[in-house]
Amino acid sequence: MVYEAIAASGSTPYLMAYIATAFLSGLMYLTLRKYKWTNVPLKFPLIHFFIVTWSGIMYLNFLNGTALSDFGWYMDWMISTPLILLALGLTAMHGRETRWDLLGALMGLQFMLVITGIISQESGMTYAYWIGNALLLGVFYLVWGPLRKMAKETSDVLARSYTTLSAYISIFFVLYPTVWYLSETIYPAGPGIFGAFETSVAFVILPFFCKQAYGFLDMYLIHEAEEKM
């Protein structure tokens, strides 16, 4: 099982470091907004707070065996990644009417994408994995299509900030399924390039930049946009 492989891989110190940075980052978002980046709307630090703290809590499943340990990553992703896209979508809509239909579609596609990963891991069905990749293309369409258009219509400053964030997130959202597919621990039917240790460390590094670092980048760019707009 996934948990047994991860627990025996020697990656526990990396997991503990990730959990610590997750909780610390959540507190820092709120502190920065209160004392330094006061022009950032409160919804952004709150969203990022829940992204990283939820992720940190789910990673606790890898430190000691629980009923959720084999699905710890999915339990993290099914909440945190839609919230990441919510923050990105709200950045695109900053200073204008919120399009909840676009946000709902974006988050719904991402949630279903994660579910296909669970099905693929448990059943070994290759086509479930590729359905997930098709859903990811839908996510990218919304990110780079209507949402980017909205940011560009608001201001050049916001458009540049949004484009930077979109490129950043897009890179990591491609790397996630790539590591997943190459991991013999998660997907034995694949090429099996990554063992348990490599998979575990990859899923510490990727979420750190996709969640903790992304939260600071998002808030900083919104702060800078508010200063210039």
Q: What is the DSSP track for 23-83?
A: HHHHHHHHHHHHHT-TTS-THHHHHHHHHHHHHHHHHGGGTS--TTGGGHHHHHHHHHHHH
**Is the predicted pLDDT of residue 219 greater than 90, yes or no?**
yes
Average pLDDT score over the chain: 93
Distance CA 203, CA 178 (A): 11
When pLDDT is cut at 50, 70 and 90, the band that residue 12 belongs to is very high
Question: Is 144:85 a contact under the CB 8 Å cutoff?
Answer: no
Which whole number is the average pLDDT over 116-136? 90
Give residue 40's pLDDT band: very low, low, confident or very high (50, 70, 90).
very high
Q: How confident is the model at residue 125 (pLDDT cuts 50, 70, 90)?
A: confident
Per-residue pLDDT, 5: 87
Residue 9 has pLDDT above 90, yes or no: no
For residue 194, report the phi and psi dihedrals to the nearest 5 degrees.
-100, 130
Tokens standing for 127?
């086509």
Cα–Cα distance measured from residue 57 to residue 108, given in angstroms and rounded to the nearest whole number:
22
Cα dihedral 89, 211, 79, 52 sign:
negative
- pLDDT by residue (tens digit) across 57-109? 999 999 988 888 989 999 999 999 999 999 999 999 998 899 999 999 999 99
Q: Give me the pLDDT at residue 225, please.
A: 86
